[in-house]
Amino acid sequence: MLARLIQFALTQRLLMLLVVILLAGGGWVAFQNTPIDAFPDVSTTQVKIIIKAPGMTPEEVESRITAPLEVEMLGIPSMNMLRSISKYALADITVDFEEGTDVYWARQQVAERLTGIWGDLPTDVDGGIAPLTTPLGEMFMFSLDGGDLDLRQRRDLLDWVIRPALRTVPGVADVNALGGLVRTFEVVPDNARMTARGISLDQLREALRGNNRNDGAGRLNDGEEVLVVRTEGAITRLEDVGDIVVRPDPTRPVRIADVAEVHSGSLTRYGAVTKDGKGEAVEGLVLGLRGANASQLVKDVRAKLDELAPGLPDGVVINVFYDRGKLVSQAVGTVTKALSEAILLVVILLLLFLGNLRAALSVALVLPLAALATFILMHRFGMSANLMSLGGLAIAIGMLVDAAVVVVENIITQLAEKDRSRLPRLHLIYRAAREVAVPMTSGILIIIIVFLPLLTLRGLEGKLFIPVALTIVFALSASLLLSLTVIPVFASYLLGRVSHKEPGLVRLLQRVYMPTLEWCLKHVKLVVGM
């Protein structure tokens, strides 16, 4: 089978060159579309439920929210672990699933259970399933500084201008707003005035609830035109709250401002954000979707912030203090540098030991082609380019040229004896590749088999080391296939007249090696004893 593969490649050389062009194009496209991150995602498939319960103590949160939710979540298929945290006014439930569970299916199961029990929870709670992100999903952090805005105005700017814009960026799961003061309209009842006018708290609540909306009122036909009628009752200003009528009366209606104090306030805070020890600040935290391309996401977020910058109030600036893109570029840059240096050293050594520039070039061509084939397979299997997967490619660089070196060196040997054999050039190349095909394939397969146990790892260690093993297996398999097909074709075009004379470095090493070998063969007992 190997002989037929080599024969097919040499008889269809133009087809092989076309395959190389397609491989290069496909590899480049796969590289551009492969997610780039600093490290592999080691988190499990999990779904988080966040429930806010204003005013409740941790004991109440545990008994009235967390415990019922945990009981409801029991029995979900493929669930691996269920854990929760109950804090003041907050319940955090995490449902972990088995490896390989589809995250969308898991979220659907949790959502169905949550819908079933939501009616039994306290009426004033809110929240639900957290965004589709991971514990490593924090991609970008920034603060709003400068200008004459106070903490409430900065939080308004973040909540109503910046956050909605950033959530439109592809790959963003959510944007958390931290710090500052969240604006509220507060109504403080005056018991004396309420008693004097006979107004109860229930009437006050009902007036607020029923007078904060716009309603349609049909339409009026005016000839060929139609006028849409509506009533505007939604609260837009603080004064609108005070003007709400609690008890209608033809002469003296009772309004909220008559029985309560209305003013601007802020939600109760459970923490704060400080910056540089100079006081409070307002922070935005961008969370990436599970499996998102971290490098591209950060670029898009920066582009969106640059787009928003001209429309910000005078003096207000967005200061970025965490950018996953820098970590990604440093991690990937370190591996890329090591990869480039390894390729350069391999080419230099090939040139020194083969003693022929064209032969060294024929062998070196397997490096970029095997790397491009590896990226195609990585993209096909949904792997990201990170410190571990690219590290596996860097580890395999030295092994990628093994098969090609054996093929090219044997081709040089056969071509040097061409005058004696008087065989066609392509037949000599075919015979040279066929002679070493079986031992070469066996050697590469043995190396691949060594890495196969890493593919059986599970859990955290599997997520860390399986990308390394897969990348090495992909690269070695690609190099073996290329060495049997493409490298003989390249050699047929690049190698001209060759000399059987050994390169200078090899002859120098032979002068040292041969006497040493002869001495060892004459003193076998001593060598074995040593």
Note the pLDDT tens digit of each residue in 126-159: 999 999 988 888 899 999 998 889 999 999 999 9
pLDDT at 402: 87
The H or E element containing residue 464 is helix 459-494
Instruction: Using the CB atoms, write b or e for 425-454: b if 16+ within 10 Å.
Output: eeebbbbbbbbbbeebbebbeeebeebeeb
- Rounded to whole angstroms, the Cα distance separating 181 from 164 reads 18
CB 374 within 8 A of CB 474: yes
Is 397 in the same domain as 491?
yes
Shared domain check, 380 and 415: yes
Instruction: Give the pLDDT of residue 91.
Output: 95
In the structure, what pLDDT confidence band is assigned to residue 419 with cuts at 50, 70 and 90?
low
Q: What is the mean pLDDT of residues 237-248?
A: 89
pLDDT at site 15: 93
- What is the rounded distance in angstroms from the CA atom of residue 66 to the CA atom of residue 130? 15
In this prediction, residue 234 carries a pLDDT of 83
My answer on whether 360 and 424 are in the same domain is: yes
Same domain as 121, residue 76: yes
Range of the domain at 385: 2-33+355-499
Q: Exposure of 416 by Cβ count < 10 A (0-12 exposed, 13-18 middle, 19+ buried)?
A: middle
**CA triple 266-271-275, angle to 5 deg:** 100
Residue 63 pLDDT greater than 90, yes or no: yes
Answer yes or no: is 480 within a domain. yes
pLDDT at 500: 63
82 in the same domain as 26: no
The answer, yes or no, to whether residue 291 has pLDDT greater than 60, is: yes
Which two tokens mark 437? Answer: 């095909």
Q: According to the model, what pLDDT value does residue 32 have?
A: 86
Give the CA distances from residue 340 to residues 44, 336, 384, in Å, rounded to whole numbers and listed in that order.
Answer: 34, 6, 20
Using pLDDT thresholds of 50, 70 and 90, give the confidence band for residue 357. confident
pLDDT at residue 421 tops 70: no
- What is d(CA 455, CA 345) in angstroms, rounded to the nearest whole number? 30
Q: Which two three-digit tokens encode residue 197?
A: 């006018």
Q: Residue 525 — pLDDT band, cuts 50, 70, 90?
A: very high
Query: Is 190 inside a domain boundary?
Result: yes
The predicted model gives 210-215 an average pLDDT of 82
Which of 209, 268, 273, 271 is closest to 56 using CA atoms?
A: 268
Q: Which two tokens stand for residue 389?
A: 């997967």
Q: What is the pLDDT of residue 498?
A: 65
Tell me, yes or no, whether 100 and 207 share the same domain. no
Residue 418: pLDDT over 60: no
* One domain, residues 478 and 361: yes
Do both 50 and 123 map to the same domain?
Answer: yes
The C-alpha atoms of residue 235 and residue 461 are separated, in whole angstroms, by: 55
Q: Which CATH number do you get for residue 413?
A: 1.20.1640.10
Look at residues 116, 133, 150 and tell me which one is the last residue of a structural domain.
133
| Burial bucket for residue 381 (CB in 10 Å: 0-12, 13-18, 19+) | exposed
Selected residue with higher pLDDT from 236 and 58: 58
pTM to 2 decimals?
0.75
Last residue in a domain, options 251, 266, 281: 266
pLDDT on residue 445:
93
At residue 249, the pLDDT reads 84
pLDDT of residue 327: 80
Phi, psi of 239 (to 5 degrees): -65, -30
Q: At residue 342, does pLDDT exceed 80? A: no
Q: What is the CATH number of the domain that holds 68?
A: 3.30.70.1430
Instruction: Categorize the per-residue pLDDT at 113 as very low, low, confident or very high, splitting at 50, 70 and 90.
Output: very high
As a whole number, the mean pLDDT across the chain is 88
Judge if 122 and 212 occupy the same domain: no
SS3 content of the chain, % helix, strand, coil (to 5): 55, 20, 25
Residue 265 has pLDDT above 80, yes or no: yes
Confidence band of 233 (pLDDT split at 50, 70, 90): confident
Phi, psi (degrees; rounded to nearest 5) at 20? -65, -40
Q: Supply the pLDDT for residue 174.
A: 92
DSSP code of residue 310: G
- Are 398 and 262 contained in the same domain? no
Answer whether residue 38 shows pLDDT above 80: no
Q: Which three-class secondary structure state does DSSP give residue 198?
A: coil
More confident: 202 or 386: 202
166 close to 172: Cβ distance less than 8 angstroms:
yes
Average pLDDT of span 435-451: 92
- Tell me, what amino acid is at 259? V
Is the per-residue pLDDT at 449 higher than 70? yes
- pLDDT for 457-492, tens place per residue? 887 888 888 999 999 999 999 999 999 999 999 988
- Out of 106, 133, 160, a domain closes at 133
In a domain, 318, yes or no: no
Quote the CA–CA distance of 162 and 286 in Å, as a whole number: 11
Report whether pLDDT(112) > 90: yes
Calpha distance 138→494 (Å, rounded): 51
Q: Is residue 348 part of a domain?
A: no
Beta carbons within 8 Å of 339's beta carbon, 6+ residues apart = 390, 393, 394, 397
Structural domains of the chain, count: 3
Tell me: do 16 and 114 sit in the same domain: no
In a domain, residue 454? The reply is: yes
Q: Pick from 23, 35, 30: which is nearest to 324 by CA?
A: 35
Mean pLDDT of 192-196: 91
CATH number for position 217: 3.30.2090.10
Q: Assess if residue 142 is contained within a domain.
A: no
Whether 430 is covered by a domain: the verdict is: yes
Give domain status of residue 511, yes or no.
Answer: no
pLDDT of residue 163: 94
Instruction: Answer for the pair 201, 189: CB distance below 8 angstroms, yes or no.
Output: yes
* One domain for residues 9 and 73: no
